[in-house]
């Protein structure tokens, strides 16, 4: 892990000094319209055309960060005025919800959001969440603060016809990957247009649907 951290740190410095260094690999999701580059000390294993992925240590195979495209589905359609920042902030909190036999835990407000832009013009967000839990002790519900989950990243990878975010959540327990590396990888993130599949959602077929109403055919006498 020490060798990996030093190697990645040197590569991160090279990124900020003058773009993506030679030898970096590129992953491109033709289905969802996003791509990024990452150093040879890391591997990216993608699933379902780029709907999710893992960044792994190329030597040990250990997971360094988990990626998730949200929403990956086309239905239901987003409400007018929906923003990628709102989608991402809501999602990073939702995935922390955990329920057990004697209580639950989750992370949410107060939330801090730090905004930036990748070298290729993609809006980036670095989010810190406040975590807490509640447990049933005897007949009482005990609430407790559980510290911070900080940071989780997401990027605006929207298409003109669909708001979407790419979540990047560092993992590793007591030894998370160097955050400078995650930031350097996100600095290479780019988006490109993909065709609108023009799917008709079930919600579109009901009166008052977002996409309009569908009139039933006239009855025959």
- For the chain, the straight-line distance linking the first and the last C-alpha, in angstroms and rounded, comes to 77
Which of 84, 95, 89 has its CA nearest to residue 164? Answer: 84
Burial label for 99, CB within 10 Å (0-12, 13-18, 19+), is exposed
Angle subtended by helix axes 2-18 and 179-186, to nearest 10: 40
pTM score: 0.82
Q: Could you check whether the bond before residue 151 is cis, i.e. omega within 30 degrees of 0?
A: yes
**Which pLDDT tens digit goes with each residue over 47-61?**
999 999 999 999 999
Domain edges within the chain: 2-98+111-129+150-205
Task: Please tell me the distance from the alpha carbon of residue 161 to that of residue 136, in angstroms, as a whole number.
Answer: 45
Residue 10 is predicted with a pLDDT of 46
Name the residue with higher pLDDT: 53 or 12: 53
As a CATH number, domain 2-98+111-129+150-205 is: 3.40.1000
- pLDDT, one tens digit per residue, over 84-94 is 999 999 999 99
Measured in whole angstroms, how far is the alpha carbon of residue 145 from the centre of its chain?
25
Lowest mean pLDDT among 11-20, 22-31, 70-79: 11-20
């Amino acid at each position: 892990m020490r060798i990996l951290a030093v190697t990645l740190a040197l590569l991160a410095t090279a990124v900020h000094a003058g773009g993506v260094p030679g030898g970096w690999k590129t992953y491109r999701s033709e289905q969802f319209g996003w791509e990024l580059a990452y150093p040879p000390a890391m591997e990216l294993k993608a699933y379902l055309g780029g709907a999710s992925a893992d960044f792994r240590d190329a030597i040990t195979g250990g997971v360094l960060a988990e990626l998730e495209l949200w929403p990956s589905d086309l239905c239901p359609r987003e409400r007018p005025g929906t923003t990628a920042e709102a989608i991402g902030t809501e999602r990073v909190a939702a995935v922390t919800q955990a329920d057990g036999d004697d209580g639950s835990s989750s992370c949410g407000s107060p939330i801090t959001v730090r905004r930036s832009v990748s070298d290729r013009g993609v809006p980036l967000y670095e989010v810190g969440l406040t975590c807490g839990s509640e447990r049933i002790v005897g007949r009482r519900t005990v609430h407790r603060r559980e510290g911070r989950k900080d940071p989780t990243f997401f990027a605006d990878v929207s298409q003109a016809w669909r708001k979407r975010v790419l979540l990047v959540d560092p993992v590793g327990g007591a030894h998370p990957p160097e955050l400078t590396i995650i930031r350097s990888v996100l600095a290479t993130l780019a988006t490109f247009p993909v065709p609108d599949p023009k799917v008709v959602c079930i919600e579109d077929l009901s009166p008052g649907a977002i996409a309009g109403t569908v009139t039933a055919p006239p009855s025959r006498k």
